[in-house]
Structure 1
């Protein structure tokens, strides 16, 4: 006894999914726009934990400065005097480039760069707040995968 099995498959839906994935990959600005706010939040979290992107604690304030700061700005942590630096952290997408950072200066002094990199001439230690942590990399991967899944599904 012979049995014939015929399977018909309309590949239009699969092709449409592939086209959506290709379109999504071809326009990285959309997914970068999703990643930017996550990195801004992560960067701002470092001001609370007072740690660099690798999780290492920032160097403590010098005792004399810490006392003066506590009197003038009670409860404000390292790099958080008037919160200008913290509040200035932004993301910007330009085509296939995502920028996360700040442009805060203080009377012409490159304040944000000096806090990030240190300023030996002013005895300011580096307290890196910008960068991508291991957790950030995992978050970025999850955002990209969600973005691609949604693109394939047509969401």
Structure 2
């Protein structure tokens, strides 16, 4: 085993700076949160899941019961679900989701309602779609490059 010791204040300072930043990934996690909230919000406009598959249309019973004063779009009766979309970034992770417990029914589907995915490509495995994964990697790459 070979050990090399570098006695350089400049190198030590840069390494300390990188170590501080890497122990607190909050800026990168915030960037991921913002990116994913934007991507999920866009799914309400395109009415597609993370892989780009169109959401199933309403069942006839849902269409018949839809309120006249609603927004007229799938998963967007009054905008309540989208209004509850948020993220919370920490030092090592970010949570992205909805402050509405019924959002899980849309993410997984039910016996009587088809899945209309919002967050994951596969909710059981928790995997992102390839496009979402690529977007997260861009955020992380940009963060690493900003460290200099």
Label 1:17 to 1:138 Cα distance change in 2 as closer, same or farther (>3 A).
farther
Checking the alignment, whether the CA contact within 8 Å between 1:24 and 1:148 is kept in structure 2 is: no
From 92, 111, 114, the equivalent of 2:105 is: 114
Q: Which runs of 5+ in 2 are unaligned?
A: 1-7, 121-127
CA distance in 2, matches of 1:63, 1:38: 35
Q: If the length of structure 1 is used for normalisation, what is the TM-score?
A: 0.74
- Segments ≥4 residues shifted beyond 4 Å: 11-15
Partners of 1:79 and 1:67 lie apart in 2 by 15
Structure number with higher helix proportion: 1
Greater RCO, CA 8 A, separation 6+ = 1
- Alignment of 1:137 onto 2:133: yes
Contact 1:101/1:130 (CA < 8 Å) preserved in 2? yes
For normalisation by structure 2, the TM-score amounts to 0.77
Larger mean CA deviation between 63-72 and 37-46 belongs to: 63-72
Equivalent of residue 116 in structure 2, options 127, 130, 137 = 127
The offset of 1:135, in angstroms, is: 2.1
Decide which moves more: 129-138 or 32-41.
129-138
Q: What secondary structure, in the 3-state scheme, does the structure 1 residue paired with 2:66 have?
A: helix
CA RMSD of aligned residues (A): 2.3
Structure with higher Rg: it is: 1
Give the paired residue count: 135
Contiguous gaps of at least 5 residues in structure 1: 1-10, 105-109
